Every structure is written in C-alpha cells, then in structure tokens.
Amino acid sequence: MLTQEKNDILTRTGRGTPMGKLMRTFWTPAMTEAEIPAADEPPVRLELLGEKLVVFRDTDGRVGVLDQHCPHRGASLFFGRNEEGGIRCVYHGWKFGVDGKCLDMPTEAADSPMRCKVSALAYPARVAGGVLWVYLGEPDTAPPLPDFEFIGLPADHIYASRWEQDCNYAQAMEGEFDSAHVGFLHSLVNKTTDDDRALTGRFFRDDKAPSWKIVPTPSGLMACNGRRVEQDKRYWRLNQFLMPFYSMIPPHPNDARLVRMWVPMNDERCWVLCVTFRPDRALGDTELAGWRNGDSAHRKVIPGTTVPTERLDNDYLIDRTLQQTVSFTGIAGVRAQDAMVCETAGAIADRSREHLGTSDRAVVALRRMLIDAAVACAEGQRPPGPDMPHLYRVRATQTVLPEGMDPTESDELMNTARPDPTPTAA
C-alpha cells in the first residue's frame, strides 16, 4: 500500500509537481507519425501531462506544437486557419509559426513593435521511429531522443498505434510488470494451446505463482519472473521498465518486438502508444492486418479515432456466455482485458486500500523507483536517462534455465537485456 502523499507523487504529473518535473526532463511520445496533419491541413488537438496543445504542419512541412490558447485573448487555435507558413487565430487574425513567433498581427498598426514582443508557447517537436516526440521542458535543456532500437529503422519495419485509456498512467503501466495475472486474466476456460510460451500455454497454466528477481538499471529496472515448467527447469521472462513510462515485454519467439509507452494525457487519463517492429526485415501483410484489427500487441479502436471499441462505458462488450465456455473474462482482446482491470479501479486508484503480496514485487519496485526519482528531481537531481540515450537500446527477452540458476547469471538473458555500454555518438 501507499500513503496518499506518495500516491499523489506517483500520479500527479502537472507542471510544478515532482513527477511532472521528472517527466519534463525527457522527450514525450505524443502521437503516431501517421496522425500528424499534412502541410496546411487543419490542426489537431493534443493533451500531454495536463497541457492542452495543437499540432500542425506548416506549408514547408515543419511540425508545430503550440499551446492551444492564443496569447491574445485565449481563443483556441484548434479552430485556427493553417495557411501560408503558420496558424492564424480566427478571433483577430494573429498568426504564429511552428516556433511560436508571431508572423502577422493585422489588428495593430504596421509600425507597431507589439508583434515582436508576443509569441505563442511552442514546444520542440521531432518525428522519429514513426512517432511524434515533444519536449515539454525548458527548450535549452532538450536532450537527445532515447535510442530505442526501432528509431532509425526503415518505415516498413515499424508499425505504431495509439489509443486512450481512462485511468492514470501508473496503474495502466503496472499491468506490464504483474506477470502473475497472465495465468488468470488472459486464460481460456478448460482449454490450452500446444504452444508452451503462448499466454494460454502450459508455461503460464501450470505455475501461477512466479518467482521474482528485480534488477535495477541506470534508467529503470529489469523484472525477471520465473515459472517452474519441469521438475528441474524454470521459464524466465525478463520485462523491461525504462524511465519514465516505457515498458517492453518479451515477444513470442519469431514475433515482432515491441515498446509500449504509457503517457499521461492528464492525471486521470493516459495515451498508450505501441510500436511493433522487426530489425531484420519489413513487416508482413498478415501481421499488419492483425495489429490494425487490435491483436494482443495493439488495441482495437473505432476507425479514425483513438477510442477503443471495448471500453468502460459499454462494459468492454463482455459476453457472459463466452465467459462460461471459452474466455476466463468474456472480454475480447488482451489489451481490453488489461484496460478493464486498471480502469475499474478508478481513474486514480486508492493504493492505501491495497493488500499486496509476493506476486506484486515488480509493481512495488516500479512505484518506489518512480517516486524516488520524482522526489530527487524536485530537489534538483537530473536523472541519467535523458542524457544517456544508449540506455534505451535494450530488449525484453525469455529463456528456460535449470532450476536454481539465477537469471542474472544467464548470458543469453543478460547480453540481450543490458544496454550496450558504449554511449551513442551525438
């Protein structure tokens, strides 16, 4: 359990809060590249860390991310005209470029110096790895982008999606580090598969109380969870947490790799961005079709929106007959099942009422790491992650080891999971 004070530190991300300050030292993944409007198209709304923004491309294709409110009288620039190199507020015609500078102020005299003194709040923006990244901290402190494996890959090696989740980012992300739930929440009724490593396979079915080894890293932690699969063997999965809101879980052998990003929209809602990728080849039509339809890596949404089809206000389309005969939950889709258990705990879960067990070790470690980092940042200590982008070039992985062998002693696990010790060239 957490005290209310610590829960507030963990969950509150607005400007001026400890966690908000910590998150603003990192680049924030905001939306997929495909969602960015084309040049001179109307702007789109975006909310990040409680800040209401608009995103647009100017005539030259440069991406602008501005405070939604015009600095004149506060009207929303979402309703503005994106034209000839900038976005023009329809209230009085003031026009702003992607850097926030006022390009035109037609309501003032031509010789007025006011235009040079007024600017819209603008944030640095970059497009990389199929994702729009926004830096919400002080512009002169912007670090390099995190060196995730998918950044720099050809576009046809990457698929990115984004959806909404109606709860705080922390409780949404915690499910990635709660391996014990897999043998229940995602299981089938009186049915398994021949694939041992599938979520409905023998490895998850037979041992529902995994053992844990938590390994801190310079910018996060490795959550190693092991299940006994034979008398003398244990199946180990190593999930990665990377500050401040990234998770990696091991893919099924031969499947694409993934990174998920649990980005606060505000304190009570979050964006989930998922990037699936193959370092060695282009993605196939079959896997792309599955992800677009919301397979286990991604979530099914109403076409043209970020709104999930199975959600709280429609009871996740639960099928009680299916729950009795096929699916343990009666809810279609792993991502929808995860969202249900997170969102029904409340927009911000009251963690003072919890009763945590040994299966929650990784969740406890994750919370403690985030809270400690936020407090340290509020006291003036900059975390290492933003300035050491190579720390993000890691993988989640899995293997079967002899019973009793510490997973950190396995070169197969650790050589893949630990970052390359060589910093990336600037």
Averaged pLDDT, 68-95: 97
80, part of any domain: yes
365's enclosing H/E stretch is helix 361-378
CA distance 122 to 81: 17
Is pLDDT at 194 greater than 70 in this prediction?
no
Edge-first strand listing for the sheet containing 63-67: 44-48, 51-57, 63-67, 122-123
Q: 164 and 129, same structural domain?
A: no
Edge-first strand listing for the sheet containing 81-83: 81-83, 86-88, 95-96, 102-104
Is pLDDT at 27 greater than 80 in this prediction?
yes
Q: 359 and 305, same structural domain?
A: yes
Q: Pull the structure tokens for residue 5.
A: 């004070």
Nearest alpha carbon to residue 308 among 113, 98, 167: 167
Q: From residue 302, how far is each of 36, 190, 305 by CA, in Å?
A: 18, 32, 6
Q: Pull the structure tokens for residue 328.
A: 């343990």
Grade residue 266 by pLDDT with cuts at 50, 70 and 90. very high
Q: 392 and 277, same structural domain?
A: yes
- For Cα atoms 128, 417, 222, give the angle at the middle one, nearest 5 degrees: 100
Read off the pLDDT of residues 107-132 as tens digits, 9 standing for 90 and up: 999 889 988 999 999 999 999 999 99
7, part of any domain: no
Q: Pull the structure tokens for residue 365.
A: 């470690």
Q: Do 294 and 287 touch, CB atoms closer than 8 A?
A: no
Is pLDDT at 265 greater than 90 in this prediction?
yes
- Per-residue confidence (pLDDT) for residue 17, from 0 to 100: 98
| DSSP conformation class of 352 | G
Instruction: Summarize the chain as % helix, strand, coil (round to 5).
Output: 30, 30, 45
Is pLDDT at 88 greater than 60 in this prediction?
yes
Q: Which residues make beta-bridge pairs with 272?
A: 163, 262
- Per-residue confidence (pLDDT) for residue 199, from 0 to 100: 63
Averaged pLDDT, 175-185: 89
* Half-sphere exposure in the Cβ direction for 174 (13 Å, CA): 27
Averaged pLDDT, 6-32: 98
Higher-confidence residue: 205 or 176?
A: 176
Averaged pLDDT, 51-64: 98
Q: 204 and 86, same structural domain?
A: no
Domain of residue 159, CATH code: 3.90.380.10
Q: Which residues make beta-bridge pairs with 27?
A: 135
Q: 212 and 128, same structural domain?
A: no
| DSSP conformation class of 150 | T
3, part of any domain: no
Nearest alpha carbon to residue 423 among 384, 395, 376: 384
- Per-residue confidence (pLDDT) for residue 267, from 0 to 100: 98
Q: 188 and 120, same structural domain?
A: no
Listed in sequence order, the residues at least 6 apart from 289 whose beta carbon sits closer than 8 Å to its beta carbon are none
Residue identified by tokens 């196939």 is 284
- Per-residue confidence (pLDDT) for residue 426, from 0 to 100: 42
Last residue of a domain, one of 81, 109, 141: 141
CA distance 291 to 280: 19
Is pLDDT at 178 greater than 50 in this prediction?
yes
Read off the pLDDT of residues 221-236 as tens digits, 9 standing for 90 and up: 999 999 998 889 999 9
- In this structure, how many other beta carbons lie within 10 angstroms of the beta carbon of residue 5? 9
Q: From residue 196, how far is each of 59, 314, 329 by CA, in Å?
A: 53, 34, 21
Listed in sequence order, the residues at least 6 apart from 351 whose beta carbon sits closer than 8 Å to its beta carbon are 1, 2, 7, 10
CA distance 290 to 313: 25
- Per-residue confidence (pLDDT) for residue 193, from 0 to 100: 65
422, part of any domain: no
Q: 226 and 105, same structural domain?
A: no
Is pLDDT at 318 greater than 50 in this prediction?
yes
Mean pLDDT rounded to a whole number for the chain: 93
Averaged pLDDT, 63-81: 98
Q: Do 83 and 60 touch, CB atoms closer than 8 A?
A: no
6's enclosing H/E stretch is helix 4-11
Residue identified by tokens 């510490």 is 406
Q: Which residues make beta-bridge pairs with 122?
A: 66
Question: In a 3-state reduction of DSSP, which class is residue 165?
Answer: strand
CA distance 189 to 151: 40
Q: 315 and 396, same structural domain?
A: yes
413, part of any domain: yes
Q: 246 and 98, same structural domain?
A: no
Read off the pLDDT of residues 204-222 as tens digits, 9 standing for 90 and up: 777 778 899 999 999 999 9
Nearest alpha carbon to residue 169 among 354, 402, 342: 342
- Per-residue confidence (pLDDT) for residue 130, from 0 to 100: 98
Say how many domains are in the chain. 2
Counting residues of the chain whose pLDDT is more than 70, the rounded percentage is 95
Grade residue 425 by pLDDT with cuts at 50, 70 and 90. very low
Predicted TM-score (pTM) of the model is: 0.94
- In this structure, how many other beta carbons lie within 10 angstroms of the beta carbon of residue 315? 12
Helices (H) and strands (E) in the chain, counts: 10, 19
Averaged pLDDT, 385-400: 93
404, part of any domain: yes
- Per-residue confidence (pLDDT) for residue 215, from 0 to 100: 95
Region class of 206: left (phi > 0), else alpha (psi between -120 and 50), else beta = alpha
Domain of residue 111, CATH code: 2.102.10.10
397, part of any domain: yes
- Per-residue confidence (pLDDT) for residue 198, from 0 to 100: 62
Last residue of a domain, one of 111, 141, 171: 141
Read off the pLDDT of residues 234-255 as tens digits, 9 standing for 90 and up: 999 999 999 999 999 998 888 9
Q: Do 342 and 312 touch, CB atoms closer than 8 A?
A: no
Beta-strand pair 257-266/246-248: antiparallel
Read off the pLDDT of residues 352-384 as tens digits, 9 standing for 90 and up: 999 999 999 999 999 999 999 999 999 999 999
Which string of b and e fits 18-52 if b means at least 16 CB within 10 Å?
Answer: bbbbbbbbbbbbbbbeebbeeebeebeebbbbbbe
Domain span at 177: 155-417
